[in-house]
Structure 1
Amino acid sequence: MLKLFERDILSVDEISAAQTGIDVRDLCVHLNNKLVLNNINLRIPKNKITAIIGQSGCGKTTLLNSFNRMNELNRNHQCSGEVWIDDRNIYDRRERVSMLRTQIGMVFQRPNPFPMSIYENVCFGLRIQGETARRKLDDSVERALKNAALWEEVKDRLYDSALLLSGGQQQRLMIARALALEPSILLLDEPTSALDPLTTLYIEELINALKKQCTLVIVTHNMQQAARVSDYAAFMHRGELIEFSDSDSLFTMPAKQQTEDYITGRYG
């Protein structure tokens, strides 16, 4: 039986500015001339796991992408509002997006290792930043792989192709690649949807351990998973934030009827 992870939770109203990892204020996003996010206000706690749930097309991934400005890769993108991280609005015109994305790591639904060695996959971002010192690269690769619970499995074949790893190992490699840059925030977009149940549990345990190092936000369609791993949960519907609270409250005593209808399977 899967056990619930231990949680030390504040109510949403008790979360102070110092305890906030991401502060979203009046965020609206249009993609391809369509309103995808409508006036989102959300304070995501620091060093906690926040799950974003809701039916397909409700704006979950768009919200996740707003936290590292990935939506801007779509040319037909418009955004208003603010997203505050570390006392700065990341949508300020002076923000350096390339540096922002080193602070905020991203792990996608399907693992996407580069066609190169395990070692080079992990240190890819560091090389892009201009790091050339072999000792520092070696230390960063080892630390990231250990933090991603992959080191013991690959330490003797670091120069083998990453494409030879299993699906679960590749997903942990993607987490290691993000962690090598020592991000303060890690975004995960359905990171276990393509994995078997045992590997999924392994990734969930890893995610829980990582909150000691960074703030985590996970998008998932799996409500059982959201209830297991998250400290806080946000329910979205048609581009709007319907409810946000600690996960125990949201999944057992939701405040909004729409939330209850969704988690009990009445729609979605």
Structure 2
Amino acid sequence: MFKLFERNVLSVEEFSSAQTSIKVKNLHVSLNNNKVLNNISIRIPKNKITALIGQSGCGKTTLLNSFNRMNEFILSHEVSGEVWIDGRNIYDKRERVSFLRSQIGMVFQRPNPFPMSIYDNVSFGLKIQGIKNRRKLDESVEKALKKSALWDEVRDRLFDSALTLSGGQQQRLMIARALALEPKILLLDEPTSALDPLTTLYIEELMVELKKYCTIIIVTHNMQQAARVSDYAAFIHRGELVEYSDSDSIFTMPNKQQTEDYITGRYG
């Protein structure tokens, strides 16, 4: 089992509505006529880091994408059930998807900076929202770069191409681009899988700092990483939620044999 940092967390049963960021109820998702998620119910706490773990193809990323309706980019998709954020079922027909996505930042496995300046990358979403005031843009860019621990490295080269940054810097730039919109929730899909160990540690430390500002949900195959950074962990197997608890319990005393087999490497 893994050695963990001390955490101050509630049990899953102790979450109140005030402490819940996302509430999922009986969620089913099929993509390209294949059932990917089956009857998922889970409550994600506010201002904590929740890790989604499980084998490749188990449905982790599909669940992550359900929180900002990214699965709808797949032409053949079916969704039933409820996902509640800020008192709204985001799958209600009246939900404005553009507004939803402005509240939920997302960072992908590989950094994908636009072929433009560092400044323009961070301010891109703000400009899309119609913000044109240069002072407001300057303040937001600086604030986001500071939150992503990149400001000191790029403050004198804001108008250089973002493509000149290292891989680790580009990933932090993607985090800054998401944070510029001041999201309530930040989704991270394998954000360090393409990075070296030292940069990975840097990103992990950044995640722990960022949960002061927003709820973080991370998909990761790295059990050591999940144990280090997450407050809660959900183990998913073949589209079903097997076990969900605080990370200390999941990684030291899981309730299900199936969970223990996975995190100790007996399969997966």
Q: CA RMSD in A?
A: 1.1
Q: Tell me how far apart the structure 2 counterparts of residues 244 and 103 of structure 1 sit (CA, whole Å).
A: 25
Pairwise mapping of residues 118-197 of structure 1 onto structure 2 (< 5 A)? Answer: 118-197=118-197
1:203 corresponding residue in structure 2: 203
| Partner deviation per Cα, 1:39-80 (whole Å, 9 max, x = no partner) | 000001100000000000000000000000000000101000
Pairwise mapping of residues 205-224 of structure 1 onto structure 2 (< 5 A)? Answer: 205-224=205-224
Q: Is the 8 A contact 2:105 2:183 kept in 1?
A: yes
* AA aligned opposite 1:162: A
* AA aligned opposite 1:215: T
| Partner deviation per Cα, 1:113-161 (whole Å, 9 max, x = no partner) | 0000000000000000011000000000000000000000000000000
Describe the SS at the equivalent of 1:261: helix
Describe the SS at the equivalent of 1:242: strand
* AA aligned opposite 2:42: L
Q: Tell me how far apart the structure 2 counterparts of residues 7 and 179 of structure 1 sit (CA, whole Å).
A: 25
Structure 1 residue ranges without an equivalent (≥5)? none
Give TM-score scaled by structure 2 length: 0.98
Q: Could you tell me how far 1:3 is from its partner in structure 2? A: 8.7
Change (3 A) 1:118 1:44: same
Q: Tell me how far apart the structure 1 counterparts of residues 266 and 143 of structure 2 sit (CA, whole Å).
A: 45
| Partner deviation per Cα, 1:75-122 (whole Å, 9 max, x = no partner) | 101000000001110111111101100100000000000000000000
Describe the SS at the equivalent of 1:7: coil
1:227 corresponding residue in structure 2: 227
Over the matched positions of the two proteins, sequence identity in percent amounts to: 80
Q: Tell me how far apart the structure 2 counterparts of residues 8 and 83 of structure 1 sit (CA, whole Å).
A: 26
2:29 corresponding residue in structure 1: 29
2:45 corresponding residue in structure 1: 45
1:255 corresponding residue in structure 2: 255
Q: Tell me how far apart the structure 2 counterparts of residues 6 and 113 of structure 1 sit (CA, whole Å).
A: 35
Describe the SS at the equivalent of 1:57: coil
1:15 corresponding residue in structure 2: 15
* AA aligned opposite 2:197: P
Q: Is the 8 A contact 2:126 2:181 kept in 1?
A: yes
Q: Tell me how far apart the structure 2 counterparts of residues 129 and 163 of structure 1 sit (CA, whole Å).
A: 24
Q: Is the 8 A contact 2:111 2:171 kept in 1?
A: yes
* AA aligned opposite 1:135: R
Larger mean Cα displacement after TM superposition, 63-72 or 6-15:
6-15
Q: Could you tell me how far 1:265 is from its partner in structure 2? A: 1.0
Q: Is the 8 A contact 2:4 2:248 kept in 1?
A: no
Larger mean Cα displacement after TM superposition, 219-228 or 2-11:
2-11
Change (3 A) 1:113 1:218: same
Change (3 A) 1:251 1:3: closer
Q: Could you tell me how far 1:4 is from its partner in structure 2? A: 4.8
Q: Tell me how far apart the structure 1 counterparts of residues 122 and 5 of structure 2 sit (CA, whole Å).
A: 28
Matched residue pairs, number?
267
Change (3 A) 1:56 1:236: same
Q: Tell me how far apart the structure 2 counterparts of residues 5 and 127 of structure 1 sit (CA, whole Å).
A: 40
Q: Could you tell me how far 1:266 is from its partner in structure 2? A: 1.1
Q: Is the 8 A contact 2:52 2:220 kept in 1?
A: yes
Change (3 A) 1:179 1:6: farther
Q: Could you tell me how far 1:7 is from its partner in structure 2? A: 2.0
Q: Is residue 59 from structure 1 mapped to residue 88 from structure 2 by the alignment? A: no
Q: Tell me how far apart the structure 1 counterparts of residues 181 and 248 of structure 2 sit (CA, whole Å).
A: 32
Structure 2 residue ranges without an equivalent (≥5)? none
Q: Is residue 75 from structure 1 mapped to residue 75 from structure 2 by the alignment? A: yes
1:88 corresponding residue in structure 2: 88
Give TM-score scaled by structure 1 length: 0.98
Q: Tell me how far apart the structure 2 counterparts of residues 101 and 54 of structure 1 sit (CA, whole Å).
A: 25
Q: Is the 8 A contact 2:123 2:140 kept in 1?
A: yes
Q: Is the 8 A contact 1:5 1:208 kept in 2?
A: no
